[in-house]
Every structure is written in structure tokens, then in C-alpha cells.
Structure 1
């Protein structure tokens, strides 16, 4: 089962959501309430990629822009609807919580092991 956690360094560089797959590869996700993508939005993902090397599959910055953008190898900015919007959900369903496991936070695991 994949592990989900937040990554943060003492310098302040962070990644909102890091997913470590069973095979040891990593995906990163940053969420920004911005309509433009800037290099600093990708800084945490770039740092994570440096730290885990070939195990980094890619990173996504979700923003409120109308268009996506490619930012280097394995990094993209992807448009997302504003928080609270259900426009992207095809059919709203009531959430029962069945079959959901609690996700534990493991701060800094990607860097420190």
C-alpha cells in the first residue's frame, strides 16, 4: 500500500503531498490558489526530485489557471477548479467512509528515511 505524507525541510522548502508507492518511487503534489505558475511553485518538487533521484516519477502543481504548463522533466502545472467547486465531479455521491484507511503523516521521510 502506498504511503502519503507531507515533506518539509528546515529551510522551509516543502511539498504539500508526497505519495511513496510500494516499489519506493515517489510522486509529489503542490496545491496553489494561483492563476499563474511560477518557478517557485515547483521548488519543493524539484528538491524532492533531487533527494530521491531516479525514484521520482513526477510532480504536479495544481492551480486555478485555465491552462496547464510543462515545467522541466516530470513536472507539470495542471488546472484545477477552485476549492469548494464541484464542477469537475461528474456526479456527486454521499461519502460513506467505508474502505478508507487513515493516512499517517511521516514528516520528512523522503529525506531522512
Structure 2
């Protein structure tokens, strides 16, 4: 697995892009906010449209407590989900 950060010429960025050996990608945005909206996922949607079926899923990590879907295969997750087990 390879880990990347993306910043384009226009200043848009994606915080973390994890690329598996088979080319599939999981992308993460990190927001220091308790509330997020589909607007916070716009760069993840852009990446999904750019790479097509290689996009496995994306997530916007936030400081709130709720998990929910922002778009097809893009989710809002509490950052605590990184270290909590179900």
C-alpha cells in the first residue's frame, strides 16, 4: 500500500490517498469541525470522477459523533473511528 497527498495547481487538495497494489484507492479528508456536509466531499467526488472504478471509497473525517453517507461510496465518519472498535 502506498500513501499519498494530492494538491493540484488550483490549490485543491486531498489529505490522504491510500493506493493498494491493485490500484484501488481510498481517499480521506480531515476536517476540524463537528458538522460536515456533502460540500466537504467535493474533492473526493472530483477524484472519484477522475479515476473511475479504481475509487474504492472516500471519507470525510470530522470531530463530531455521527457517521453518515455523504454520496455514493463517500462517508462522513468521526475521526475517533480510526481507533475505536465496534
CA deviations over 1:32-80 (Å, ceiling 9, x no partner)? 1101012331011111111110100000111011111201110000012
In terms of Rg, which structure is larger? 1
**Which structure has the highest helix share of the two?**
2
SS at match of 1:67: coil
Q: TM-score, normalised by structure 1?
A: 0.67
- Indicate the RMSD between aligned Cα atoms, in angstroms: 1.6
Work out the number of aligned pairs and report it. 83
Over 6 Å off, 4+ runs:
none
Match of 2:39 in 1: 40
Match of 2:56 in 1: 57
Q: TM-score, normalised by structure 2?
A: 0.87
Distance 2:58 2:84 in 1: 22
What runs of 5+ residues in structure 1 fail to find an aligned partner? 82-87, 91-113
Match of 1:111 in 2: none
What runs of 5+ residues in structure 2 fail to find an aligned partner? none
